[in-house]
Structure 1
């Protein structure tokens, strides 16, 4: 709604309101929080007051206005606001001063696509409404179009910015964030997800204080170390209650997210492309589009925020044939064989899996070139006839004959110095002249900003997809970028390389996934090094972590679920002692953890005992019955692995007719207290049957008093319970 008497814009999502007001041409932020009525009195919400002379006044006749204290929608530096700017531009004369003021606006039904970038979408225009605010710098002719889309069925607002150079001179963007939001106070905690390879997305929470609290990536990908997500929440907010403001960036490359508490006790939250080592030249008439930021408001705690992101990303970010389908149970040969296999060995694992009820076999690294270790052949995407005498097609047909689908691992963005591709095209990797080419895992990064590189990868991959009966692809990326430069770019565009890489990757992914819609693509980057919304737009699931230890996975999967739906998380049972931490846990415990995601195995099934086969067969049978609820249900986190020895979560169907409770205890305790776990998300008025015991309990009792779980004994113990509403 636009109120032309007050120059006020009131945006309403399902459960939240967002209000913008024009103040002397500046787009000022007024309110973000619980949904307000359009017909309520919204005047007077923005308070203006003159400050000290160290906060200058750009409007001489109104000294209550200072950009140093005015809450703004897209602030600039150099015209009296000393806080972090949302954008910065270098002009031909070397100066960096611009000033964006209101020019026009447009309100329309629906949500536009972002050219060349992943974004949340709508299937019908009535699902969302979009406001575009056009701001103009009159001196240069530079325009910034601020885009806001609000959803009728989600408590979510998306933001992005399009820059248009309408002037006569070339300008250079040096900072171009997707969203900036000024909160009226600083009584918040910042919550974010950090870690390392094999220790991804651990939950971090800290109180804001004067200064900057921020996270970022300069690695060329969203990274294992930080995730492109940050939330502000009140100190008293818990999993179940309290205010949360979530900010998630739909992007897979370098990013920044920070909260700045300034002198007057307000907070500026910003998220977008990392300005470090970034610039983008805009010649007259050219445009630049920022990635999309997705904001979610919840007054039902972190759980409420998560479930809002889950519903939105599961149904309006993920796309394609497999978005709403149940995901197959798979076995991957990586930890079973590593590089040491042949066609007969692969067929034997596939047959063993088929006998247990597994639906998909995935051939991992080592099938191409002369790949007997990780020091060669990346880029040479031709089957190794030493290991596979009949080639990939023959192997896939043998696997299919065993009653199981066939999937394949690739690492398309990489090249080995010891490869035919590198020897033919040494300039195709990221590099800079006269500098060493730093290797990681004995490989270099192909320059995805180059059209010829993308054309080669498309040709090789699409040829395999057309000739081999593949139903699944694992797309890996096992190192971060160094020497970020492109031989195909002129000197003045070298700082565009990292972003152009992502745009090139997105272009290739769009082309391939649209041409082969029946293939289920799973993204991977050494596990969870690129677990972000940008990749989920093209591939509806991600290998959550290379760490398959069940105890570590409790934290990894719990932290991942803060933003990402369970349907996006690959989770496998691996051998013990675990290959990452050398821990030995029971097959039952490993199975229960993995069944809380997209379930599979990553070990040599042919080496199992009869007892292990019986346990696995039951796991597979059980998961086929419950996977629809696990992958598409509402997730409720009950006990956090970051806070103690126990973890618990549950899945509830949309109609609250069915639920699953999972409970995990890491270490046994002597004389432990009797423990009940209180459930969530059930219907208070319904009775529920526990299918394992036949007992019936009211939803009110289960949520208020809980279910007993203290009967478990021993280290690494777990249980899960299925509940069905009694008719």
Structure 2
């Protein structure tokens, strides 16, 4: 059993693979947090909560001055009943008051893992994989039920959490803050890790010490954002890639979010995460319910690397879905940086044919194929083929390209609308907007109001019509701006602050229906690159364009940071021309290839301009990638040297049975008279011998991990080296 209830102690003990999570029904029905960490056999001694009278404490029970909620570790804390720390939720009654008081009411334990209504979440394929407990807390005065749902994966160190509100009372309630998870830790001896950045600089690792007060990350942009990813972790002070305690929190949601860490006056730490309460409220009428998104919590007692590999395995196999979940992803060529908007059918076919000659498997036609789209100032929403560029349409173009032995893919941006479009002229109120206010444009476009059913219906039909019209096996789904003037023409005043969340629910409905209707299509998410790289999107689309920045040096940090949570099978990493379009940097082809090979591989330049010598280089790159593709996309990933800590980066991939490994090393700048470098590998079997392919040298697994593999003495900037090992018996 993964979930045990000790009736005598009133203690719930959740047991994942090597993890225990405990909570209890405390005095007067309050619901308390007890423990989260390495697996415990006996929980009895941890069930006690210290009780002492504190100065300035307020007491829910006036007869007992030792009980103040300000000192009790809680599972889902309220506002206004003696706990002055950050609450997990906040509601408003019809009389204007904002006080609520949740107490334990009941619980039930289920096999497996139920889906969340209208929201993406992790799943199971067998009831034996997990157990779920639903704990109902009730405010008896207003008849509000709050169901805390915990799922324990028995073979992974994973516990997922979500919250559902049910209004069983006689009055309307307004939800002002609804977070999905709260954990109270007994001390503050942690560092906070999060992934921050911007467009073209996504998911950089930031590690800081906790301090008294609140530290938080958030998005108010309408998307999970490039600026802050919906992930945080608490790390013990001694935590490294291979050692120490790590507690990870990742929100399965693609809109506005917040993650808050509070160190209180007694130096305990509260962590909570969920939908951002900024500019949010939700009117909950009698009989209605509200489902909050899921938080995936991962504990590792062996450092950051183990936490990451747990997330990777869970997301690869129990978040991503569909035919492509377990399939090798194709090597592609995309025409965007080759042509931008200036192309015709002959040019596209020439690039595709050149790609086939060097071994590329998929050609992707990017922006500019529809409406009158000769620049980024028109036609979004008008999903009809531009016959000036493609006189025979998509049907013939797809036939021509597939006749070369390649697959054909297409770029779309379904969530947007251009003011200069037939759709906007017909439906000017279909965009997000506020009456009498200007409509701020980003990239010359506005955002469709996906909180409206008829708008979602239009998107589903128009995009489906395109996908049915030709032999399309890949879609790049883009989203190139954040929200402004967030309002809906169809919502009453008291529900306007629901718009951003309703948009995300509409988006999930659209993605769910389209991806289900076209299971043979590989969908790739994009948001100006990595501006919506989150688990909510991965539920519908198993891979994401990692960043618009394809510079090999910048990509070291972007890809390294991304792997803290997300698997390499979700990362799309391509080679582009130099000087690079984002940095003007000139890096050599080996460096660009070895960086791009560390995910789903592709090319972003005009292959028709390449000479035969360059084409031979590309052929060899593609042959090499095909040899290690399965290992890179589905192997266990280990970070060896961090680009955030120095001039060098290294990482590696190991097969599940530890019989095959592929490692890569990168040095950005050369140094004169530099020392000899040995890179220590990880994840191998110390008792195996491994042959270094291409040399015949044999190393012990223990030797590679304890002594390392040596690098040649090479001068110059932008040096990279790869090694491929196979076990011999």
2:305 is the counterpart of 1:303: yes
Quote the residue 1:22 is aligned against. Answer: 25
Quote the residue 2:400 is aligned against. Answer: 398
Task: Flag structure 1 segments of 5+ consecutive residues without an equivalent.
Answer: none
RMSD after superposition: 0.8
Contact kept, 8 Å, 2:672 with 2:715, in 1: the verdict is: no
Contact kept, 8 Å, 1:170 with 1:284, in 2: the verdict is: yes
Q: Distance in 1 between matches of 2:614 and 2:668?
A: 21
Contact kept, 8 Å, 2:180 with 2:294, in 1: the verdict is: yes
Q: CA deviation at 1:625?
A: 1.0
Quote the residue 1:444 is aligned against. Answer: 446
Q: CA deviation at 1:489?
A: 0.9
Contact kept, 8 Å, 1:683 with 1:699, in 2: the verdict is: yes
Q: CA deviation at 1:599?
A: 0.2
User: The residue matched to 2:287 in structure 1 has which SS?
Assistant: coil
Contact kept, 8 Å, 1:189 with 1:208, in 2: the verdict is: yes
Quote the residue 2:15 is aligned against. Answer: 12
Q: CA deviation at 1:710?
A: 3.5
- For residues 280-337 of structure 1, give each alpha carbon's deviation from its aligned partner in whole angstroms, at most 9, with x where no partner exists: 0111110000000000000111101100000001100000000000000000000000
Contact kept, 8 Å, 2:342 with 2:374, in 1: the verdict is: yes
Q: Distance in 1 between matches of 2:219 and 2:297?
A: 20
Quote the residue 1:589 is aligned against. Answer: 591
Q: Distance in 1 between matches of 2:139 and 2:656?
A: 49
Q: CA deviation at 1:235?
A: 1.2
Contact kept, 8 Å, 1:588 with 1:615, in 2: the verdict is: no
Quote the residue 2:49 is aligned against. Answer: 47
Q: CA deviation at 1:51?
A: 3.2
User: The residue matched to 1:348 in structure 2 has which SS?
Assistant: helix
Quote the residue 2:462 is aligned against. Answer: 460
Q: Distance in 2 between matches of 1:518 and 1:625?
A: 24
Matched length: 725
2:523 is the counterpart of 1:527: no
- For residues 485-526 of structure 1, give each alpha carbon's deviation from its aligned partner in whole angstroms, at most 9, with x where no partner exists: 000111111000000000000001110111100100000000
2:279 is the counterpart of 1:286: no
Q: Distance in 2 between matches of 1:578 and 1:490?
A: 48
Kindly report which structure 2 residues correspond to 1:261-410, keeping only aligned pairs within 5 A, or say none. 261-410=263-412
Aligned pair partner of 2:690 in 685, 688, 692 = 688
Quote the residue 1:417 is aligned against. Answer: 419
Q: CA deviation at 1:60?
A: 3.0
TM-score, reference length from structure 1: 0.99
Q: Distance in 2 between matches of 1:558 and 1:543?
A: 15
Kindly report which structure 2 residues correspond to 1:563-602, keeping only aligned pairs within 5 A, or say none. 563-602=565-604
Cα distance change of structure 1 residues 185 and 60 upon mapping to structure 2, 3 Å threshold: same
Q: Distance in 1 between matches of 2:281 and 2:53?
A: 35
User: The residue matched to 2:45 in structure 1 has which SS?
Assistant: coil
Cα distance change of structure 1 residues 528 and 41 upon mapping to structure 2, 3 Å threshold: closer
Contact kept, 8 Å, 2:246 with 2:301, in 1: the verdict is: yes
Q: CA deviation at 1:53?
A: 4.0
- For residues 168-201 of structure 1, give each alpha carbon's deviation from its aligned partner in whole angstroms, at most 9, with x where no partner exists: 1010100000001100000100000000000000
User: The residue matched to 1:703 in structure 2 has which SS?
Assistant: helix
Q: Distance in 1 between matches of 2:556 and 2:349?
A: 32
Aligned pair partner of 1:163 in 146, 160, 165 = 165
User: The residue matched to 2:69 in structure 1 has which SS?
Assistant: coil
Q: Distance in 2 between matches of 1:497 and 1:46?
A: 44
Q: Distance in 2 between matches of 1:611 and 1:66?
A: 75
Contact kept, 8 Å, 2:35 with 2:46, in 1: the verdict is: no
Q: CA deviation at 1:55?
A: 1.6
Q: Distance in 1 between matches of 2:181 and 2:584?
A: 43
Contact kept, 8 Å, 1:241 with 1:302, in 2: the verdict is: yes
Contact kept, 8 Å, 1:48 with 1:65, in 2: the verdict is: no
Contact kept, 8 Å, 2:231 with 2:251, in 1: the verdict is: yes
Cα distance change of structure 1 residues 46 and 612 upon mapping to structure 2, 3 Å threshold: farther
Kindly report which structure 2 residues correspond to 1:186-265, keeping only aligned pairs within 5 A, or say none. 186-265=188-267
Aligned pair partner of 2:5 in 2, 10, 20 = 2
Aligned pair partner of 1:657 in 659, 663, 675 = 659
User: The residue matched to 2:514 in structure 1 has which SS?
Assistant: helix
Q: Distance in 2 between matches of 1:540 and 1:6?
A: 43
Q: Distance in 2 between matches of 1:414 and 1:485?
A: 15
Q: CA deviation at 1:96?
A: 0.5
Q: Distance in 2 between matches of 1:563 and 1:19?
A: 25
User: The residue matched to 1:558 in structure 2 has which SS?
Assistant: helix
Task: Flag structure 2 segments of 5+ consecutive residues without an equivalent.
Answer: none
Q: CA deviation at 1:156?
A: 0.5
Quote the residue 1:69 is aligned against. Answer: 71
Q: CA deviation at 1:46?
A: 3.1
Greater Cα offset, 651-660 or 397-406: 397-406
Contact kept, 8 Å, 2:24 with 2:47, in 1: the verdict is: no
Contact kept, 8 Å, 1:663 with 1:720, in 2: the verdict is: yes
User: The residue matched to 1:43 in structure 2 has which SS?
Assistant: helix
- For residues 314-364 of structure 1, give each alpha carbon's deviation from its aligned partner in whole angstroms, at most 9, with x where no partner exists: 100000000000000000000000000000000000000000010000000
Contact kept, 8 Å, 1:187 with 1:208, in 2: the verdict is: yes
